[in-house]
Structures are given as structure tokens and as C-alpha cells.
Structure 1
Amino acid sequence: MKASVLITGALGFVGRHLFRELTDAGFEVWASDLESLCEKPGPPFDMQRVRACDITRIDNVLEILKETHPGAIVHLAAQSSASKSFKHPRETFVTNSLGSLNLFEAARESCPDCSVLAVGSADAYGRQEGNAALDEATPFAPVSPYALSKAAQDLMGIQYWLGYGMKVFRTRSFNHTGPGQTTTFALPSFAFQIASAEAGLCEPVIEVGNLDVVRDFLDVRDVVRAYRLILEKGNPGDAYNVCSGRPVVLKTLLDILMSHARVKITVKESPGRMRPADIPFLLGDNSKLRTCTGWEPRYQIEETLWELLEYWRTETGESSPSDSKKREER
């Protein structure tokens, strides 16, 4: 058995996939999240290894660390919606920045030798001149309160590495999606609206925001494998872009999803889905991650989108045996 790992925010979208990834790799994994989520965590979690924790309360964090004695921590707990952060900037900063400070301080006190993987966001890069792929030396220019909170977390990671010698690894994670992602985000929102229309639960209309933005997407399963490899092979103190290195226009991804729709879909632009400020082009350079860890993406975006749509068809009761057979053949 490898060293134990504690995942904060483990019951969220990425956390569930990471739990499987680390467990399958032989790690002893502890999961923590808000108490309301821990009552019925569901698969793949073992209730014996699930603990309630409010990351904004340092006493909660200290208690969890002293109980679990982790050799490594993956810090996922966050308010992860850039759109929501414009409406709730203070809540976002308290959860993401103060929460990260609480984690670093608690780890420094109770397990100073453990590794900490602070999962950040490429949104911190913000708007940059030109359309070049961004490497880890790119300065931060956060546009949203969410991006600001993640930039602050990233800088804390540097300080705790330089100032206290803690083994902190940082990621700048670009967009990722896959089965289980909530409709707070664009692609699962599109998939949910298509599945709902197919099931007759709503009109065959997809409400969208800005479809002209260019993004860099990965499958969540490639992302969590990158997190594991950074823990195993990364250099403490370093930051790593977790990205595909391939630009794609959001409208192209919507078109792929719509090509699988069983009903004719109309696209409608919704002012309520527009952000007050946005990043028109965001593309990452993943060469450092690949060189340092040997990581390579395994999933094609078309496959990921198909599985995302199938997930929401199942959730809305629209999936059929023929769909399951088709998925197994892919």
C-alpha cells in the first residue's frame, strides 16, 4: 500500500474521479467535504474513509489532518464557478483563498512533511496578448473574482514552499469535463438541455452564452491522472499546466453534442448566461507536465462529449440499451 492521501472537496465532480484514480493506483485515500454532502456520499466512497470538513474553519481542517495523518493532500475544495464568482465575490474569496490558507497552516502544524497538491486554475492567466499557448512563466492577469482567488492560492503555495520548505505542488488546470460534471458549466449544461429535450421535459431549445471563446479542454480522467503523476514525479515548488495544448471554439463542441441529438435543437443566446467579463482565448502549453511526469492525454474530446451526453440521458431517463451498446463499442 502506498502513502495515504487526503482529498479535500472529494465529493465533487473531479474528486470522485480522483478518488478512483488514486485507489486504483494503490493509495490509501481519505475523502473530506462539507457535512451536508458526506451524509450520503455514494459510490465510489467507503463511508469509513469519508470525513466532514468545512475548509473555511481551520479547527475543522486541523481535526481532519490529525485524524488521517496523510502523506499527501490534494486540495480540490473550492467555489469553482467563474460565473458565480461575479455574483458572490466575497464568498468565493473566503472559500478559495482563506480556505487554502487554512489548509496550508493546518498542514504546517500537523503534518509539515506531507506533500500538498494545490489545484489551481488557468483562469488566473486571464487575458493575454496574442493567441500563443501559455506556459507556466506567464504572469497572472485575473479577470474574474474566481481567477483572483485562485491566483492568491497559487502564490500562497509558492510562499509555503519558499518560506517554510513545505512540499507544495501547484497546478494551473485548464478546462475539463466528463461524466458527472454539473450544469453550472457550459458543456454539461448543453448536454443536459439536449437530454431534457429528447425526454420531452422541455422545449428543444438550448440557451447559451458566448460561443465564440476559444478554450483548451481535457477529459477529467486525463486530468486526475496528471494529478497523481505530479504527486509521484513532480518537483516540489513547481507549477504545472494541466491541459491538452489544443485550442477549440466552444461552438464547435456544442455542434458535436448537437450532432448526437435525437430531436432538432434550436440555439438561443441568453443574456443571463453571459459573463460580465470573459477571456476570449485561453490555450495552454503542457510540455513541462509531459517532460517531468511522462503524462499523455488518452481521451479524445469527441469521446468525452459522447459520454457526457449519455450521462445526462441516464439522469433524465432518456438513455436506451442501444445507446449503452454503442458506448461500449466506442
Structure 2
Amino acid sequence: MTRVLITGVTGMVGSHLLDYLIDQTDWTIYGMLRWRSSLDNISHHVRRINSGDRINLVYADLRDSMSIDHAVQSALPDYVFHLAAQSYPKTSFDSPLETMDTNIQGTERLLGALRRHCKEAIIHVCSSSEVFGRVSSDKLPINEECTFHPASPYAISKVGTDLIGRYYAEAYGMCVMTTRMFTHTGPRRGDVFAESSFAKQIAMIEAGLIEPVVKTGNLDSLRTWADVRDAVRAYYMMLTIKPTPGEYYNIGGDFTLSVRDMLTKLIELSKYSSIEVKTDPERLRPIDADLQVPDINKFRNHTGWQPTIKFEKTMVDLLNYWRDQVKLKKDFLTR
């Protein structure tokens, strides 16, 4: 029986990957999470968890070597999706050392444990498009060979993650592949990210919980948008279609527009007729990666992957997700 380990299984991407693997494979799945992680994103699988029905949870922290070693020995995976990280760029400005320990040394701890216990595993290391950071317009679209110019402690940590993955492939002959996924979103996206924060605020406005004002950071950033459900399908294809040790791929959508235009679309989808937009200085980063447009030809040519979910559906599903979350909270508060 094929065994797979997903680190960060309760996050947006990890939970959607879990959904995909449950639907598309017969693999036995080990999901790694911290003891304090919320299970909300995987609660619809609760009857399967630790019941002998394919889904097993293993508790570990990327900053704790012994727990990582134990998780790897429990799972002994054939495939690994390393998604766990301190993934919030703005938070990284306040907690740079924690971010770097989690993302850089955490990746080292995980790959070291895999080298000791299941060296033949096929491994995906999730880096980030943020490694490219400040890119000049003449270098768009961004290909895999574009120079790294990270614009946050998070991005710096992902440069380390990226390089560690390739180092293990080259130094130890392990089948490690690295992705730089560009902006991807959808249901379960954390509200610290721009589009999810906007959707949550709009849902709260519709529910009468806050004034009709959406607070924003930088709206001028240009981004290519993908749906998280397309992203996890890409990750699966990378590990199962001619996996190539040491390869690294840019992955992203095919629809590009600014954060400002994305917010306009969300407001157009709202049930509320008049919403004001205000810049909140607390939401601005000291420096921003403001041109995130990928060249995905390398990955597309290798796997045949194409994004299939349209931008508007992603925005509708994201807004409906937050409407459901806000309704649950409102119902709880008014009992």
C-alpha cells in the first residue's frame, strides 16, 4: 500500500491536497500537524481520522528534531508533500528568527529524517514565488532562472528552503523536487492574506458586524492568480509523472490582475451596495514583491498540467467560504 506524508495537513493547501488524495488515490495518508493546530479545515474527514480508514494524524513541530524523526518513522512514506511553514510574509517582519528556524532549519530536519529512514521517498519541497521578490518589469514573466531578490524575512527563509531541497537531491541522490508556487487562493485561505482578508471583511459587512469599510494594504501589486485546487493537482502530478530529482518549477495560474482589481471583483460580488476602501498603514509591508507574474512553461511541458478553475469561481468560492464562517460565528454569538 502506498504511503504519503503531508506536512501542514491542516493548512489551506494541505487540507485541499488531503481532499484530492482521498478522492483520486487509494493511498494511506499521514498528515503532520502541531498539537495546537485547529482541525477545522479537515473536520469533514473526522470519521476517517485515526480510525484505520486511510487518514492518520502525526503530531510534530518543524522546530523539534525528535518529533520530526518520530513522525517520519511513523509514516515511512513513499511520497512526501512538505507544505508546513511559517507562511505569512507580514508576520515574518515581526518574527524573523522564528520564521527562519521553522522554514529553513525545519526543512533540514525533515529531509535529514527522511534521509535516515526512507531515503527512496519521492519528495516535494514547497518553496515560494516570493523568493524572486523585487523583479523588474523587463524580467516578466518570471522563469526559473530569474535571480532571487527576496523582499521579506519569509522570502529569505524560502530561499533557504529552496536551496536545501536541491542540496539533498544533489548531495545524497534523493528524489527531491522544489516548487515556487505563485499566488494561489480559495476556500480556507487564512485571513492574513489580502484577498481572504477582503473577503472576510465583506462577509462581515454583509452580516452587519462591521461598518461598510474594507481596510487594505498595498493595492498596486500585480499578481497572477491560481486556485488552490488546481495547485494541489499540480503537486500530485509533479510527484507521479516522471519525477526528476533536483528539478525546480514555477507553477501558477493564467489570469493576471492587480490586487486593486481583485478587490473590485470581490466588491462586485457582494450583496452590499456601497463599500468604502481605506488604506490601513498596519497592513503595509516595509518592502513588497509587487510583480508576481510567472512563466510556467517548464512545468507545463513536463507534466501537461493546466489550470482549469476560473478566477471568478475562485473569488465566489472564497467569499462564500467566509460568508459561511461569519454566519457560524454570528449564530454562536447570538444564541
TM-score normalised by the shorter chain: which range applies?
over 0.9
Alignment of 1:155-234 (within 5 A): 155-233=163-241, 234=243
Over aligned residues, Cα RMSD in angstroms? 1.5
Structure 1: runs of 5 or more not aligned = 319-330
Post-superposition offset of 1:87:
0.9
Alignment of 1:1-330 (within 5 A): 3-26=2-25, 27-37=27-37, 42-44=43-45, 46-48=48-50, 49-131=56-138, 132-233=140-241, 234-263=243-272, 264-317=274-327
In the superposition, the TM-score normalised over structure 2's length comes to: 0.92
Aligned length: 318
Match of 2:127, SS state, is: strand
Cα deviation 1:268-289 (Å, max 9, x = unaligned):
1110010000122111011111
Cα deviation 1:3-46 (Å, max 9, x = unaligned):
21100011111110001112222122110100112777522353
Post-superposition offset of 1:193:
0.4
Measured in 2, the distance between the counterparts of 1:220 and 1:44 equals 19
In the superposition, the TM-score normalised over structure 1's length comes to: 0.93
Measured in 2, the distance between the counterparts of 1:305 and 1:108 equals 40
Cα deviation 1:132-157 (Å, max 9, x = unaligned):
10111112111100000001011011
Match of 2:31, SS state, is: strand
- Most deviating of 309-318 and 81-90: 309-318
Match of 1:216, SS state, is: strand
Kindly report structure 1 stretches of 4+ aligned residues shifted beyond 3 Å. 38-41
Measured in 2, the distance between the counterparts of 1:178 and 1:129 equals 28
Post-superposition offset of 1:245:
4.1
Cα deviation 1:216-244 (Å, max 9, x = unaligned):
11000000000000010132210011101
Post-superposition offset of 1:129:
2.1
Structure 2: runs of 5 or more not aligned = 51-55, 329-335
